């Protein structure tokens, strides 16, 4: 074997190395976890950036409302030493016989109606406020999920078009690479957020149906 054959690198081997390095150093997209806020990255196309911002705002409002909903529901269960909201209301009614406590529904809003000849004690006023906040959060979670899903569905139908727009607006090659990666990350996280959004809405609907059942309403 000649010196040349031993020491000169194989041209084909050299050609493969950049690709091997690029695969090894491929950007890892952070997985959006449940309860985490959606952060979108700029793609330097104004209309797309505006839509991404609106989508993120809708989802993040839903996350915040879900946090309030979870807090209120769990606090009520602790207050009532109950495993469900239905048991919690029943416990409140049984332990406060001098006060008429009922769940009322008005459309998709629910609240606790408390009638007493005496001034309501602080603990009952707090419970009343928790139910009020829970009702508001439930409605926001459900309504935001519908708007969010519609916007995400519409924008995900245009993946190729969005990639082309980025190339047209950003002519520098390195900018195109960076912004295309941002687009891919946005799309990936929005697809994951869509799944979490659906779960939030299901949880909110379960609470809405439970409160409606306690109120004697069965057409929700």
Residues 50-60 have pLDDT tens digits of 999 999 999 99
- Model pLDDT for residues 91-131, shown as the tens digit of each residue: 999 999 899 999 999 999 999 999 998 899 999 999 999 99
Q: Residue 127 and residue 132: Cα distance in Å, rounded? A: 9
Number of H helices, E strands in the chain: 7, 2
With respect to residue 23, please indicate whether it lies within any of the assigned structural domains. Answer: no
Mean pLDDT, residues 184-192 taken together = 96
Three-state secondary-structure class, residue 108: coil
Q: Total structural domains in the chain?
A: 1
Res. 78: pLDDT tops 70: yes
With respect to residue 6, please indicate whether it lies within any of the assigned structural domains. Answer: no
Expressed as residue numbers, the domain containing 61 is 42-215
| pTM score of the predicted model | 0.84
With respect to residue 3, please indicate whether it lies within any of the assigned structural domains. Answer: no
- Return the biggest CA–CA distance within the chain: 107
What pLDDT, on the 0 to 100 scale, is given for residue 26?
Answer: 52
With respect to residue 123, please indicate whether it lies within any of the assigned structural domains. Answer: yes
Phi and psi at residue 39, in whole multiples of 5°? Answer: -110, 120
With respect to residue 7, please indicate whether it lies within any of the assigned structural domains. Answer: no
With respect to residue 24, please indicate whether it lies within any of the assigned structural domains. Answer: no
Tell me whether residue 10 is exposed, middle or buried, using C-beta atoms within 10 angstroms of its C-beta: 0 to 12, 13 to 18, 19 or more.
Answer: exposed
With respect to residue 28, please indicate whether it lies within any of the assigned structural domains. Answer: no
Three-state secondary-structure class, residue 16: helix
Q: Residue 86 and residue 37: Cα distance in Å, rounded? A: 31
Three-state secondary-structure class, residue 113: strand
- Model pLDDT for residues 12-36, shown as the tens digit of each residue: 444 444 434 444 445 666 789 999 9
Q: Residue 52 and residue 151: Cα distance in Å, rounded? A: 9
Res. 7: pLDDT tops 60: no
With respect to residue 208, please indicate whether it lies within any of the assigned structural domains. Answer: yes
């Amino acid at each position: 074997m000649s010196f040349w054959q031993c020491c000169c690198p194989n041209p084909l081997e050299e050609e493969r190395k950049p690709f091997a390095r690029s695969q090894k150093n491929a950007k890892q997209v952070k997985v959006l976890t449940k309860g985490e806020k959606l952060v979108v990255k700029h793609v330097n196309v104004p209309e797309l950036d505006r839509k991404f911002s609106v989508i993120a705002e809708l989802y993040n409002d839903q996350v915040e409302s879900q946090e309030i909903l979870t807090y209120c529901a769990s606090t009520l269960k602790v207050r009532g030493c109950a495993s469900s909201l239905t048991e919690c209301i029943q416990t409140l009614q049984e332990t406060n016989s001098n006060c008429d406590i009922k769940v009322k529904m008005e459309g998709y809003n629910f609240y606790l109606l408390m009638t007493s000849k005496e001034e309501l004690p602080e603990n009952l006023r707090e419970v009343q406020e928790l139910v009020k906040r829970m009702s508001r959060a439930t409605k926001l979670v459900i309504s935001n999920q519908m708007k969010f899903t519609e916007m995400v569905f519409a924008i995900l139908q245009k993946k190729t078009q969005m990639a082309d727009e980025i190339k047209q607006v950003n002519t520098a090659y390195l900018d195109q690479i960076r912004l295309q990666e941002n687009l891919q990350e946005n799309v990936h996280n929005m697809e994951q957020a869509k799944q979490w959004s659906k779960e939030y809405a299901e949880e909110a609907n379960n609470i809405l149906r439970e409160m409606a059942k306690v109120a004697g309403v069965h057409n929700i």
